[in-house]
Amino acid sequence: MHIIVHIGPPKTGTSSIQAALRINRDYLASQDIYVYQAQKMTSKALALAFMGETRNSMPDIRQHFPAAADAVAWSEACWEEFEAEVSARKPAVSVISSEMFGNLRDPSAFVARLGRTFERITVVGYVRDPVELYVSQLAQHIRSGARFRDLKSPLEYKYPKIWRIDNYIELLGLANIRVRNFSRSNLRGGDVVVDFFQTVAYLAKRKIALPTMPERVNESLPAAATVWLMTL
């Protein structure tokens, strides 16, 4: 079995891709492509087991779990559910998506866990113009509860090299990595959702119709609203 792992990073249309996977889940299943869907927070469900205590103690996680260990325990239960569903369905291709996968300092345990179920693992991610990405990530960090002291200035900011992608290359080999340019002029159909679904179609060797498009999600807040949010 083959799994396609979308690793983001944040602010490259990940929320739209995840929404499209959710609303097109039944159609994809008819093409023998399984999309995992947790009962809540699907984009975090399989990632929290590998994120570490610091990330699992951030405000956006603490509002759901009183302690980091609770987040890990819930994620482990999601893994067991995911693996059981794949074992029962035996789909030709599975798809999971989380920008958190791209932020793993060491994805070896994550890749090893996938290797227990899947014979082939392909990683898909997008790269974005560094200036646009910095501004967008700054706002996203504030929305996630970061304090002013946690935010990097433009002089401190370092483009994440598509997030430690070298680690995935080392673990899986370059042939199993797909990196796309998050630019409207480069994206198929000028849209990241269309581009991702066509990438899945190519990797899965399937003809996939244009997806039902989701409503716009996780749009950036105006600057004034972002500053106000940071004061809370």
pLDDT in tens, 177-197: 999 999 888 999 899 999 999
Whole-model pTM?
0.82
Chain segment 61-97, per-residue pLDDT in tens: 788 888 888 999 999 999 999 999 999 999 999 999 9
Residue 2's pLDDT is 98
pLDDT at res. 81: 97
Q: Edge to edge, what strands does the sheet with 2-6 contain?
A: 33-35, 93-97, 2-6, 120-127, 177-181
Q: At what angle do helices 108-115 and 161-172 cross, to 10 degrees?
A: 50
| pLDDT top residue among 55 and 102 | 102
Helices (H), the chain: 14-23, 25-30, 42-45, 53-56, 59-62, 68-89, 108-115, 130-143, 161-172, 192-204, 223-230
Q: For 100-139, write each residue's pLDDT tens digit.
A: 998 888 999 999 999 999 999 999 999 888 777 777 777 7
For the chain, the farthest-separated pair of C-alpha atoms sits apart, in whole angstroms, at 51
Which residues neighbour 209 within 8 Å (Cβ) at sequence distance 6 or greater?
27
Q: Which residue has the tokens 């002089």?
A: 155
Which region among 1-10, 12-21, 126-135, 212-221 has the lowest average model confidence (pLDDT)? 212-221
**3-state secondary structure (DSSP) of residue 127:** strand
Sequence-separated contacts (24+) of 147-155 with Cβ below 8 Å: 148/230
β partners of residue 97: 6
With 90 as the cut, is the pLDDT of residue 156 above it?
no
- Among the residue ranges 6-20, 31-45, 209-223, the one predicted with the least confidence is 209-223
- Of 6-20, 193-207, 210-224, the least confident: 210-224
